[in-house]
Amino acid sequence: DSGVTQTPKHLITATGQRVTLRCSPRSGDLSVYWYQQSLDQGLQFLIQYYNGEERAKGNILERFSAQQFPDLHSELNLSSLELGDSALYFCASTVDGRRANEQFFGPGTRLTVL
Amino acid sequence: GDSVTQMEGPVTLSEEAFLTINCTYTATGYPSLFWYVQYPGEGLQLLLKATKADDKGSNKGFEATYRKETTSFHLEKGSVQVSDSAVYFCALTKTSGSRLTFGEGTQLTVNP
């Protein structure tokens, strides 16, 4: 158990819908990362937050957005869902975005868009 | 941009066989290198890491050496077990705390 929790574990929805994925980092970790794992794209970095502020952006679609709240949990919002958004979404955390050398991963949320 | 390339899989071995999974990278500067493992239905776990050239990372019988001259970080294990069956990802970061760039992943199956 990495100490990073993600909810829900599974999510099944329809095209055009909007969903929210939630991540709680390890206790004391200030930095949260979101990754998408799909069969055709592999594991790709989406976005990073550090202590409530966006720090880095990767291959995140405009239909996707994220935020980190004062209690340090993070949410990833996916809207106008398409079939191709079906994937495993992982969240990871580290204690300090600048000094960290290891990211701890949650178990992931499996999103299926029908 | 930065990239990581892993040997094509899947890899199937018998128990106690020797394992090598090749990993090469393209990056400027001095990235840190990692091997992560993903067991079925679980998230990624750090297996080992190396932060500078010629460093050797090791854990649970697995080893990998950071070779800057060949831009490689190949994963090896002398004697695999059925419990090692998983997907293995090679990855890099450019600076501490920055994003991980992953390879494609290699599915390893070990048969008894």
User: pLDDT tens, A86-97?
Assistant: 999 999 999 875
Q: Which residues of B touch A92 (CB under 8 A)?
A: 44, 100
pLDDT of residue A1: 82
| C-alpha span between A1 and B56 (Å, rounded) | 26
**Dihedral angle of Cα B38, A54, A56, B99, to the nearest 10 degrees:** -20
Supply φ then ψ for residue A11, to 5 degrees. Answer: -145, 125
Q: Which residues of B touch A48 (CB under 8 A)?
A: 98-99
pLDDT in tens, A39-61: 888 999 999 999 999 999 998 99
Q: Average pLDDT over chain B, rounded to whole?
A: 94
Q: In whole angstroms, what is the distance from residue A20 CA to residue A89 CA?
A: 11
Task: Evaluate the CA torsion angle B25, A89, B105, A32 in order and state its sign.
Answer: positive
Kindly determine whether residue B89 and residue A43, on different chains, have CB atoms separated by under 8 Å: yes
Tokens for B5?
């390339």
Residue A106 near chain B (CB below 8 Å): yes
Identify the residue among A1, A105, A110 best suited for mutation to test binding to B, counting B beta carbons within 10 A and taking the highest. A105
> Which pLDDT does position A26 carry in this prediction?
94
Question: Which of B36, B100, B104 to mutate to test binding with chain A, by most A CBs within 10 Å of its CB?
Answer: B100
Q: Which residues of A touch B99 (CB under 8 A)?
A: 33, 45, 48, 56, 58
Q: Is B78 helix (H, G, I), strand (E, B) or coil?
A: coil
- Give burial (CB, 10 Å; 0-12/13-18/19+) of B35: buried
What's the mean pLDDT in B4-8?
Answer: 89
pLDDT of A98 > 80? The answer is no
- Say if the Cβ atoms of A103 and B102 lie within 8 Å: no
Q: How far is CA B51 from the centre of its chain?
A: 14
**Contact residues, B window 16-75, toward A, CB-based 8 Å cutoff:** 32, 34, 36, 41-46, 49, 51
pLDDT of residue A79: 97
- List, as ranges, residues 71-90 from A with C-beta within 8 Å of B: 90
Cis-peptide, bond into residue A8, ω within 30° of zero: yes
Residues 20-59, chain A, touching B (beta carbon < 8 A)? 31, 33, 35, 42-45, 48, 50, 56, 58
| Spatial distance between the Cα atoms of A9 and A2, rounded to a whole number of angstroms | 15
